[in-house]
A and B are shown apart, each in its own frame.
Chain A
């Protein structure tokens, strides 16, 4: 099937599909970062992670409406305000959930899975009751429209570039937070040895709550970024949750670098395959590949070598 195209066309196809893959990569990374913090560091399965993302998306939607109504002059920059609001909304809900639900279940990971699934059903129905069952789209500021032409055949949409830059910045921020800040040190200490961390004076309960809150907050920002490239519905989050879990597990659950590498591999494979087969087959082949690799190498790509 490759023979039908000239080398030039093939190059453009790979470049364009590669770029589409990069946008998918950005969404995966943003979602997986929050999950990697919660699942990788705390060992908690948060099935409602997609719904926290959608909360961010709806927050962005509301902010855009408010700006369009009351502050039309500032509309071009509403997105930055929306992102902060999305972080706060999702983070606050996350901390509430941790306090009410998760902290009672740290010793029963499978039960956490079921409880957060219940939470995700409740959140979905809440969104449906409040915002309606139909998908909503966010009105984008003028400057994010259009595309940059690199060559005659290769065009890159601006909103895609924006999402990617955003992903880079957030990833860098999370990396700094985890490996260069006092809070990150506390989180890693609690993960490695909860009892000892408590003994040296770290308030482990507070660290847990903050960690969960920040993981959910990042999901909210992911949802905010998601509105730039797709529309939002009550069940949009569920579409991504399996892929995201696989990204985190495939990367090796406790490694941020692994998460990024696996998000890159999965998204690039999928978008390249998508061009040559149908979308659903591309997804099947990619997921199947990941599952088979995980069966052969259950610890994922980048495993942290620890004694258990």
Chain B
């Protein structure tokens, strides 16, 4: 085993949490139970159908934030093109739904019945070839994951094999986001243009617009999200997760220890893309449309702030960060639209300058010690050894004693 740098850089990676036999340590169990309880029990009980759908929409962004935690927080690879994968996943399922909604009976007033309405408006008379396979639901479901992963693989392989990383990777992914938006908006006849794919009705005859269906979809969404959290947690606890963190710290050292750094990076980038794509597909199902406004540069970089606010190395923080930022966005931009952009801008600056570990960092440095004191417990980090002392003031007493 190479002497990889101890992954003690983030609060989520305390050394004692490195027992690989279980998926969670005690603290993580509590955090997981809290997330699961809130999104599976508290939200459905406390919110009406409209609000629940809104929260469901927020949670679809949480998939993207979760992917970014793995890719950016653990791996140090900042992708500014996650909106592309979100959009690709969303478009794949939207194409299936649109074809089902544009049956010959529904579209008989068009000059060419049986094709989506926006194609008819753009004088297209036959279904384009890339739409053909989307008549089949299994194909569409597979495409939701496979198409974005394929795109991510091509980008990742091209970049990481040539050891391009850091800001260059960020700029290239941002350019990809720009290209995708321009392409979708420009090819109106094939993609629905700036409006996107709208007026989606049924999934295999099941009307997704009813309240009951929306509630059902909320639970499917929440269940999938919990599945993704478990997967992310598994990755984090595995050897792969440790190599990721080691790569973030000293990439060359990992490479010289005999690991193929590029392959690890490609894998985590593809995984993040797959998460984003599932989120995009769930977005389409719950909200009922998909448009290029979720693909471009601005939404893609906004998704980064969800992960950053939650704490870039915290899997559970990503969920809370997403919910918090989106709740603030909805409530602020309704009443003070001007204030919101100022607030969002300040959030970017603040999260970088003042609290780079986000909510999770604040929790670990402030709330957790207070909680421990109230419960009369010994401060937990003290048992974990001095390595985590740098980030956690709870270990200050032994250190000051040593000085």
* Chain A interface residues toward B at CB < 8 A: 43, 45, 101, 104-105, 108-115, 117-122, 124-125, 128-129, 238, 242, 245-246, 249, 278, 280-281, 283-284, 287-288, 290-291, 294-296, 298
Contact = CB atoms under 8 A, between A and B. Distances in A.
Nearest to A110: B78
14 contacts: A105-B353, A110-B72, A110-B167, A110-B170, A114-B305, A114-B351, A119-B349, A120-B345, A121-B344, A122-B349, A125-B341, A129-B338, A245-B175, A291-B176
Interface string B274-310: 0000000000000000000000011001001100100
Contact of A288 (B72, B179, B349): B179
Contact of A246 (B167, B171, B297): B171
Given A280-B182, A298-B162, A125 B338 contact: yes
Interface string B155-196: 100110011101110111011101100110110000000000
B352 interface: yes
Given A45-B170, A105-B352, A287 B162 contact: no
A295 B162 contact: yes
B170 A291 contact: no
Contacts of A111: 352, 356
Contacts of B183: 280, 284
Contacts of B348: 114-115, 117-119, 121
B333 to A, nearest CB: 12
A242 B167 contact: no
B342 interface: yes
Contacts of A109: 166-167
A224 B163 CA distance: 39
Interface string B4-39: 000000000000000000000000000000000000
A242 B181 CA distance: 13
A246 B171 CA distance: 8
B41 interface: no
Nearest to A295: B158
Interface of B: 72, 78, 155, 158-159, 162-164, 166-168, 170-172, 174-176, 178-179, 182-183, 185-186, 297-298, 301, 304-305, 308, 338, 341-342, 344-349, 351-353, 356
Given A105-B353, A128-B338, 9 more contacts: A45-B171, A111-B352, A111-B356, A118-B347, A122-B341, A249-B172, A288-B179, A295-B159, A298-B168
B186 A242 contact: no
The interface centre, meaning the residue of A118, A238, A280, A298 with most chain B CB atoms within 10 A of its CB, is: A118
Contact of B172 (A112, A120, A129, A291): A291
Contacts of A117: 301, 348
B40 to A, nearest CB: 32
Contact of A115 (B72, B164, B178, B349): B349
Contact of B186 (A105, A246, A278): A278
A246 B177 CA distance: 13
Given A118-B348, A121-B341, A245-B174, A298 B179 contact: no
Contacts of A288: 179
Contacts of A122: 341-342, 345-346, 349
Given A115-B353, A121-B348, A284-B183, A242 B341 contact: no
Nearest to B340: A125
A113 to B, nearest CB: 6
Contact of A242 (B297, B347, B352): B297
A285 B178 CA distance: 12
B175 A298 contact: no
Given A242-B174, A283-B182, A119 B162 contact: no
B164 A298 contact: yes
B352 A290 contact: no
A118 B349 contact: yes
A45 to B, nearest CB: 5
A280 B185 contact: yes
A280 B176 contact: no
A43 B348 CA distance: 20
A19 to B, nearest CB: 24
A124 B301 CA distance: 16
B225 to A, nearest CB: 25
A298 B304 CA distance: 24
B356 A287 contact: no
A118 B345 contact: yes
A284 to B, nearest CB: 5
B175 A287 contact: yes
The 3 A-B pairs with the shortest beta carbon distances in the complex, nearest first, are A118-B348, A280-B186, A121-B345
Contacts of A278: 186
The interface centre, meaning the residue of B158, B182, B345 with most chain A CB atoms within 10 A of its CB, is: B345
Nearest to A279: B186
